[in-house]
Amino acid sequence: MGGRYFSLAEDIPVVYVTYYQSPGIRNSLIVSAAFNPLLLSESIEQAIWKVNNNQAVTNIETLEEIKSESVAPARLRTGLLAIFASIALLLAAVGIYGVVSYSVAQRVREMAIRLALGAAPGDLLRLVIGKTMLIVLAGLALGGGAALALTRVLASLLYDTSPTDRVTWIVAGALLSAVALLACYFPARRVTKVDPLTILRFE
């Protein structure tokens, strides 16, 4: 049968045999209890010493502690990846905001002319956001392709989760799209506040 003997991340073949078939110097005793098993430590030690008073009893742990220690390295890696991903998301938002702001500033005369010719502020808003989101979606497609190519590397960092998990990809794409939309909305909204007469007179 398969089993996770040394850590939760592995699944290796395991065959259970009696102690007499495979004696060892390190053995484990598993105790099931209806309450906190650590409260039974002294009673368990006394029971073992009744059989062999020279037997040392060390490293008493609960199953939850063992599982926590097993996933601690993976938890640390996941935490670091989450921190770096958050920083990357923030930088992407700032970058999109800066690019759209610059683009709007360069096209302010064009926007003023559009308004003077009868374009509604909402039309300009959709124009700026639409073009920006097309670029963002193209970037998401390229980034998704690159991430898909790196799934073999990601597989070693994941436990009981596929690196191509559909829900994860959808949520990540939606989050990035939402951040990009917010980042381009605010500079694009300034277009609707443009006074065409003032801009054209200045030009």
Per the prediction, the chain carries an average pLDDT of: 79
- Record the tokens describing residue 176, joined without a space: 């990035």
Spatial neighbors of 169 by CB under 8 A, at least 6 apart, are: 144
Asked whether the CA dihedral 69, 12, 167, 86 is positive or negative, the reply is positive
* pLDDT band at residue 156 using 50, 70 and 90 as cut-offs: low
Share of the chain above pLDDT 70, in %: 85
Give the pLDDT of residue 87: 92
Q: With 70 as the cut, is the pLDDT of residue 199 above it?
A: no
Give the confidence band of 200 by pLDDT, cuts at 50, 70, 90. Answer: low
83: pLDDT strictly greater than 80: yes
pLDDT for res 183: 84
Q: Residues 97-143: pLDDT tens digits? A: 888 888 877 777 777 777 777 778 788 888 888 888 888 888 888 88
- Residue owning tokens 């597989």: 155
- 7 pLDDT above the threshold of 70: no
Pick the residue with more confidence: 13 or 85?
Answer: 85
Q: Where are the beta strands (DSSP E) in the chain?
A: 2-3, 12-13
Closest by Cα among 27, 30, 32, 20 to 52: 27
Residue with token string 């009893």:
57
**Whether pLDDT at 65 is above 70:** yes
Stretch 183-190: mean pLDDT = 81
In the predicted model, what is the mean pLDDT of residues 77-104? 85
Residue ranges per structural domain of the chain: 2-51, 67-202
Indicate whether 186 pLDDT > 70.
yes
36 phi, psi to nearest 5 deg: -60, 115
pLDDT tens for 18-37 read: 777 877 777 777 888 877 87
